[in-house]
Each structure stands twice: as structure tokens, then as C-alpha cells.
Amino acid sequence: MLIRILDVMIPVIAVAGLGYLYSLRYRTDLAAINAISVNVFLPALVFTVMSSQDFDLGSYPGLAIAATAVFFGSGLIAWPVAVLLKYNLRTFVPPMMFNNCGNLGLPLALLAFGDTGLAPAIILLIVTNLLYFSFGIYIVDRQVHWRNVLLSPPILASIAGLVVSLGDVSIPLMIATPIAMLGDALIPVMLFALGIRLVDVNLSDWKIGLVGAVLCPLTALIVALGIQPLLQLPDDQFRQLLLYCALPPAVLVYLVAEQYQQEPEKVAAIVGFGNMAAIVIVPIMLPFVLPAV
């Protein structure tokens, strides 16, 4: 299983590493790249994932509630930690709330649970994306108008994907294919951009990166264990939730920090160290989540 986890993690580290090496030689302006990623590639990926999966949304109300509790609970726990360590709340708290449940969470769910693990992983992805690109963005920039947030491309793509999935709408291949191609571009582009940003990480940012790498999965796990006696999730869904809690901060929070100029160097350190730490944290969690054979 460790080898399978490394099969997922090593490509992530390799692409970010290439971005880092590239930036050492060629200084790169990330503003245009990040704007395209957030406004084009990300909505395409969200829509493709949500519209192409065949699952019953009504089968997972407890899991959706659990994901919501983990999202807000992690932020509430991280808040006093940030105050104690004198970190900027808008820099430190969002990465603790939004984990890498897309490009890392979905492959891990398939590896750990097989095809049956994909549907609950999609539910976790939907809830987390909707919460982050509404409330999460508001934390980063209080001046953002709620109407603009709700009409942002990621939110609109999430809603459109849900409508297509729940309505069992068939999208012509000539339309679905280019959308999927744009979505496929997001993961390597944002990882490469993360590597570029890591060139600017300084020593003090390494410290916040290490704290974030530990606190993100720890806060999520604390909340999950605390709410399970109340929700009584089925065993398979609770195992899926535990794996979700072990995930590191999402690379997307770095893109948003770059877009809003919310200390992107520090957010890059949190995300970078978090994803590297996942090589250790996820395998430690696996014995507790893998179904009995």
C-alpha cells in the first residue's frame, strides 16, 4: 500500500519540483497563470467530475454533514492557534479548512476502497468546494460581495455539474471532451505554479509550513472523532471520512492566496510542506481506514 501511495505522491512532488527548478533559472510572473487556473481550468475540472459521476446524492446526507462539520470545526480550532503563534488569520486558517480532496483525495479513495469509494469521495469534494469557494473566499477577502462569490466560475461549475448529474443529462461528446481537457490541465499547472512560488519561501515561512502540515489533518481528525457518536455514520462512510481527514491542504488555497495577494509565500509553504508530510501521514492512517479483507 505504501508503494501505491508513493505512486500518487511522487508525481505530485516531481511536478512541483520541476516548477521550482524552472523558477531558479527563469523568473516567472504567476498572475496570469493563476487567473486562468482559477477561472477556467478549475471550473472545467469541477464540472467534469461532478457531472460525469453516477451516484445518488441522497444516500450520503450524514457524510455531507460530517464534511461541513470538519470544514468549520478545523477552522475554529486553527483560529486560536493562529492567534497564539501570531499568524495572519486570513493566511493560516483557510488552508486548515480546505484539504486536497480533489486531485489527491479521489485517487486515494479509489486505491483504498475501490470503485465503491468513489461516490462518497465525490460527495466530500462537492461539499468542500462549495464551502471553500463561498465562505472560504470571504475569510481571505472580507470586501468580496457575496453575489460575486456565488457567481464565481467554480461555484457556477459546481451547481451546473450537480444539475447535470441529478437530472441525468447527457452531454454531447463534442462538448464534454474539450471541457474535460481544460480540467485535466489544472492539476499539473497548479503544481508547477506551486513549485515556482516555493522559490520565494524563506526560513520563517518554513516554520508556518511545518505547523500547518501537522495541524491540518490533526484538526480534521479531532472533529471527525468528536461528531461520529452523534452522526453514527455507517462504517464504510466513517472510514472514508477518516481518510479525508488525513489529506493535506489543497493546492487551490495557494492559487486563491496568489489571486488576492494574501501572503502567497506563506500559503505556498503550508501547502508544500503539507503535501510532503502526507507521504508519512496518509500511510499512518491507512491501517485504520482500510476495509477488513
What the block records as the C-alpha cell of 12 is 505530485
Residue 129's alpha-carbon distances to 21, 200, 205, in angstroms, are: 31, 28, 26
Residue 33 lies in a domain: no
SS3 label, residue 26: coil
Residue 57 lies in a domain: yes
Residue 201: predicted pLDDT: 66
Residue 52 lies in a domain: yes
Residue 12 lies in a domain: no
Q: Within 10 A of 86 (CB to CB), how many other CB atoms are there?
A: 6
Helices (H), 232-263: 235-245, 251-260
Residue 22 lies in a domain: no
- pLDDT 10s digits, 56-114: 666 789 999 999 999 999 999 999 999 999 999 989 999 999 998 876 787 788 878 88
Tell me the percentage of the chain whose pLDDT exceeds 90: 32
Number of domains in the chain: 1
CA angle 260, 263, 267 (to 5 degrees): 100
Residue 31 lies in a domain: no
Residue 26 lies in a domain: no
Cβ proximity of 240 and 109 under 8 Å: yes
Torsion, Cα 104 185 119 129, to 10 degrees, reads 80
* CATH code of residue 237: 1.20.1530.20
- Determine the structural domain holding residue 278 and report its residue range: 2-7+39-286
Q: What is the pLDDT along the chain (293 residues), one digit of tens a residue?
A: 667 667 756 787 888 889 889 988 887 777 788 788 888 998 898 888 778 755 566 678 999 999 999 999 999 999 999 999 999 998 999 999 999 887 678 778 887 888 778 778 888 988 888 888 777 777 777 666 666 667 778 888 888 988 888 888 888 999 999 999 998 888 788 778 878 877 766 667 888 999 999 999 999 999 999 999 999 999 999 999 999 999 999 877 887 888 788 888 899 889 888 888 888 898 889 888 887 65
In Å, how far from its chain's centre is CA 17?
A: 19
Residue 128 lies in a domain: yes
